[in-house]
């Protein structure tokens, strides 16, 4: 035998033990239950998509971060000569498929492919992992889960309003204190128009997006780098420095942004903020004009959620896209969606100790195994306890009592049930509460009551 390889996992990926999974599932279940409350239906799509589906949808940066899957078979040996792996053609030659980068583009593909079976507006949610060939660092992984909800086939701002309600419900349920930042891509387009740099909208939004990270001076420098004149950069300043309430920001904008797109964006933002205000949600919202959301496909409202009690970046985001299905030959279908970042939500909840006890509880009862005739009785007691909705383990071996109790202690099991000869004869069990050491001799039904109390 050669050297034994020490087991490891790829950079930027993680194993999740039982304790973490119980907590992760608590987050997924909470989000899922809110999605369902609003009539969203689940779908799943394959981990791999054709590269033609993925390429060119996430901008130049995104394309570089796609994990490509090498075509199967030994065709590389026959390919001869070095392949220009950077060119799209060569990429498709050696890999026709890639791992999905997000859930939105596969969703657009799904809608176009299954359009004849869908009832519009179509509301779907999807909770699956995505992959990005990013540089792994704290809080940034190469494999992570997204929890998305989207509705396609309506332009109504009630769809945006509903997503704000969903954000409010999810974070209220998880007890995370958040602020929802709202902007509109049409306002951003209007900003670019108003300074005569319509073609530079993406450059402007990318730079503005960094305002709170790198500061005004550096943003201005980056704008000049991207080819904006000093005069154009000057014209942007009042917009970058807007302050006051959301209403005040919007009325200032009305005078600054004269283009049709800009005015439409202001109107949409105003309507949405009014609707949300009327609902009286317990959610803090804020119009944030530096919010750009890097992705190219947004066309209307954009959202980002920040946790208020800890520094961690955004934990949820989304927006309106008018033509995502157009890239697959089905134009004119508008949609709006939101994505919850489960990993970051997990980090926030761990830091702030927000997981309820139920989300960390393991087994409710360990039934001790005394062996011999008592084993069958213990087996039946365990089954009865399970049937009443408890999580129950029967220790597999008739080991020393001390060993079985140590096992229960280590696993954080709440109760231990002893089913020895005396208990068997009386058709009872002795229930011991691990935290206090209290003991009772009870029938199974009484024991269930005691455990659930």
Structure-model confidence comparison of residues 364 and 140, the more confident one: 364
- pLDDT of 82-134, one tens digit each? 554 456 666 677 899 999 999 999 999 999 999 999 999 999 999 999 999 99
- pLDDT of 422-434, one tens digit each? 999 999 999 999 9
**Residue 188: predicted pLDDT:** 87
- Asked whether the beta carbons of 99 and 67 are under 8 A apart, the reply is yes
85 and 116 in a single domain? The answer is no
12 domain residue, yes or no: no
- With a cut of 60, say whether residue 348 has pLDDT above it: yes
- With a cut of 80, say whether residue 81 has pLDDT above it: no
- Angstrom distance (rounded) from CA 107 to CA 438: 55
**Residue 419: predicted pLDDT:** 95
22 domain residue, yes or no: yes
Pairing of strands 143-152, 97-99: unpaired
Strand order in the sheet with 68-69: 48-50, 97-99, 68-69
Tokens matching residue 445? 């039904």
Strand order in the sheet with 143-152: 41-42, 122-131, 143-152, 335-341, 314-321, 301-307, 178-184, 284-287
248 and 107 in a single domain? The answer is yes
Q: Name the 3-class secondary structure at 340.
A: strand
- Angstrom distance (rounded) from CA 405 to CA 388: 23
**Residue 332: predicted pLDDT:** 87
- Tell me how many domains the chain contains: 3
313 and 428 in a single domain? The answer is no
**Residue 78: predicted pLDDT:** 58
Cα angle value 280/283/287 (rounded, 5°): 100
**Residue 359: predicted pLDDT:** 75
10 domain residue, yes or no: no
Q: Give the structural domain span for 427.
A: 362-452
325 domain residue, yes or no: yes
Supply the CATH number for residue 321's domain: 3.30.930.10
- Asked whether the beta carbons of 120 and 137 are under 8 A apart, the reply is no
Residue entry with tokens 């494999």: 143
Supply the CATH number for residue 431's domain: 3.40.50.800
- Asked whether the beta carbons of 181 and 306 are under 8 A apart, the reply is yes
**Residue 83: predicted pLDDT:** 54
72 and 169 in a single domain? The answer is no
- Asked whether the beta carbons of 282 and 168 are under 8 A apart, the reply is yes
- Asked whether the beta carbons of 374 and 367 are under 8 A apart, the reply is no
Greatest mean pLDDT among 107-116, 135-144, 206-215: 107-116
Strand order in the sheet with 439-442: 392-394, 365-367, 415-418, 429-433, 439-442
Q: Which residues pair with residue 341 across a beta bridge?
A: 146
- Asked whether the beta carbons of 141 and 157 are under 8 A apart, the reply is no
- Angstrom distance (rounded) from CA 424 to CA 401: 17
- Angstrom distance (rounded) from CA 328 to CA 296: 16
Q: Which residues pair with residue 306 across a beta bridge?
A: 179, 314
86 and 110 in a single domain? The answer is no
Q: Name the 3-class secondary structure at 393.
A: strand
3-state helix, strand, coil in the chain (%, to 5): 45, 20, 35
- pLDDT of 267-324, one tens digit each? 999 999 999 999 999 999 999 887 877 656 789 999 999 999 998 889 999 999 888 7
295 domain residue, yes or no: yes
pTM over 0.75: yes
30 domain residue, yes or no: yes
Q: What are phi and psi of 41, to 5 degrees?
A: -110, 145
334 and 367 in a single domain? The answer is no
Tokens matching residue 77? 């040996």
What DSSP line would sit under 124-154, residue for residue?
Answer: EEEEEEEE-----BTTB-SEEEEEEEEEES-
For 22, the enclosing helix (H) or strand (E) is: helix 18-37
Domain-terminating residue out of 99, 117, 140: 99
290 and 430 in a single domain? The answer is no
Q: Is the dihedral of CA 243, 247, 251, 254 positive or negative?
A: positive
5 domain residue, yes or no: no
270 and 133 in a single domain? The answer is yes
369 and 236 in a single domain? The answer is no
325 and 437 in a single domain? The answer is no
Domain-terminating residue out of 294, 322, 351: 351
209 and 296 in a single domain? The answer is yes
Separation in Å, CA 122 to CA 41, 248, 300, 436: 9, 36, 19, 53
432 cis-preceded (ω within 30 degrees of 0): no
71 and 172 in a single domain? The answer is no
- Angstrom distance (rounded) from CA 142 to CA 134: 6
CA torsion 132→134→138→144, rounded to 10°?
0
287 domain residue, yes or no: yes
Structure-model confidence comparison of residues 208 and 252, the more confident one: 252
């Amino acid at each position: 035998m050669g050297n034994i390889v020490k087991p490891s996992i790829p950079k930027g990926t993680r194993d999740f033990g039982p304790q973490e999974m119980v907590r992760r599932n608590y987050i997924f279940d909470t989000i899922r239950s809110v999605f369902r409350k609003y009539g969203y239906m689940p779908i799943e799509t394959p981990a791999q998509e054709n590269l033609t589906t993925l390429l060119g949808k996430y901008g130049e940066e995104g394309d570089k971060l796609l994990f490509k899957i090498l075509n199967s078979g030994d065709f590389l040996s026959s390919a001869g000569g070095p392949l220009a792996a950077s060119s799209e053609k060569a990429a498709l030659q050696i890999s026709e498929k890639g791992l999905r980068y997000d859930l939105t583009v596969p969703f657009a593909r799904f809608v176009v492919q299954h359009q004849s079976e869908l009832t519009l507006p179509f509301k779907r949610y999807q909770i699956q992992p995505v992959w990005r060939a990013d540089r792994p660092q704290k809080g940034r992984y190469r494999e992570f889960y997204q929890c998305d909800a989207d509705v396609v086939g309506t332009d109504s701002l009630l769809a945006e309003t509903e997503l704000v309600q969903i954000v409010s419900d999810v974070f209220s349920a998880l007890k995370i204190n958040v602020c929802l930042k709202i902007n509109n891509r049409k306002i951003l387009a209007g900003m670019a128009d108003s300074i005569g740099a319509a073609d530079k909208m993406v450059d402007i939004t990318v730079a503005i997006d960094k305002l709170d990270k790198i500061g005004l001076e550096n943003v201005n420098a980056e704008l000049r780098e991207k080819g904006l004149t000093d005069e154009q950069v000057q014209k942007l300043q009042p917009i970058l420095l807007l302050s006051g309430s959301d209403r005040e920001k919007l009325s200032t904008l009305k005078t600054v942004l004269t283009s049709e797109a800009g005015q439409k964006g202001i109107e949409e933002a105003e309507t949405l903020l009014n609707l949300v205000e009327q609902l009286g949600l317990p959610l803090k919202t804020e119009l944030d004009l530096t919010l750009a959301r890097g992705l190219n496909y947004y066309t209307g409202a954009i959202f980002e959620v920040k946790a208020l009690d800890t520094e961690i970046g955004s934990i949820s985001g989304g927006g309106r896209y008018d033509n995502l299905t157009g890239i697959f030959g089905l134009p004119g279908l508008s949609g709006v969606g939101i994505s919850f970042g489960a990993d970051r939500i997990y980090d926030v909840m761990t830091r702030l100790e927000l997981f309820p006890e139920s989300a960390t509880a393991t087994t409710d009862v360990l039934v001790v195994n005394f062996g011999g005739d008592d084993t069958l009785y213990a087996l039946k007691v365990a089954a009865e306890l399970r049937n009443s909705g408890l999580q129950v383990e029967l220790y597999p071996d008739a080991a020393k009592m001390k060993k079985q109790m140590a096992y229960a202690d280590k696993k954080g099991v709440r109760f231990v049930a002893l089913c020895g000869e005396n208990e068997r004869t009386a058709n009872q069990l002795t229930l011991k509460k691990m935290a206090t050491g209290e003991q009772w001799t009870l029938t199974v039904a009484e024991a269930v009551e005691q455990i659930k109390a």
